[in-house]
Chains A and B, each alone.
Chain A
Amino acid sequence: DTEVTQTPKHLVMGMTNKKSLKCEQHMGHRAMYWYKQKAKKPPELMFVYSYEKLSINESVPSRFSPECPNSSLLNLHLHALQPEDSALYLCASSPRLAGYQETQYFGPGTRLLVL
């Protein structure tokens, strides 16, 4: 089973709202990732967690706050977003972060619209 699930599928929020995106995997993977994908663009890495610790933060604005409560779950907390933050937010996981021959498996994404 190579399934990564994400909820919600769609989210519309105002600029003053607080919302959270959720990602879950039960493959025993210890590395989890958040990517942002704008329309007609490739995914861009935002955050990487390895063994529940933040390993990489690609200079993402503080209005995005990641959280990894356990090895199966990854959240992305959103607060005071801007309309330009509207995008598809993808979660991925891999067995390890720095292991040899790691493959990342992607979830279906949450399509976010900020009004």
Chain B
Amino acid sequence: AQSVSQHNHHVILSEAASLELGCNYSYGGTVNLFWYVQYPGQHLQLLLKYFSGDPLVKGIKGFEAEFIKSKFSFNLRKPSVQWSDTAEYFCAVNVVDGYGGSQGNLIFGKGTKLSVKP
């Protein structure tokens, strides 16, 4: 079965520090990749997504992610975090079948809690 691993459970940074959150998936075929963010008390919001093309994708609020197919990774980065980035970050994968369609279920990683100290 496919799975998604987020190795960092809790990351604590000071404001202006750089961020990189790891995400690895286990599936040898084609996938769609997503990062969602859940701010305290708020709902899941799409941060960015990768379907095809340029492996470096830019999302909202200055976040970007790089898809490295050979490493089955889709790490999230931000050069300088702010206190308002404090949230839970989820990586998710959606398998693309042989006909080019995506399977229905998003497979989520366990999430990484980011705490940014002012």
Contact = CB atoms under 8 A, between A and B. Distances in A.
The 8 A-B residue pairs whose C-beta atoms are closest, nearest first, are A42-B108, A98-B101, A108-B43, A106-B44, A48-B104, A101-B51, A45-B105, A100-B100
Given A42-B111, A43-B44, A108-B42, A56 B104 contact: yes
Interface stretch (B56-64, B65-73, B90-98): B90-98
Contact of B104 (A41, A42, A97, A109): A97
B11 interface: no
A45 B94 CA distance: 12
B103 A98 contact: yes
A42 B90 contact: yes
A112 B45 CA distance: 21
Nearest to A46: B105
Chain A contact residues: helix, strand, loop or mixed: loop
Secondary structure dominating the interface of B: loop
B60 to A, nearest CB: 12
B77 interface: no
Chain A, interface size: which category?
Answer: 20 to 34
B43 A102 contact: no
Given A42-B111, A98-B97, A103 B104 contact: no
A102 B105 contact: no
A43 B54 CA distance: 28
A105 B36 CA distance: 10
Contact of B102 (A42, A101, A106): A101
A42 B110 contact: yes
B34 interface: yes
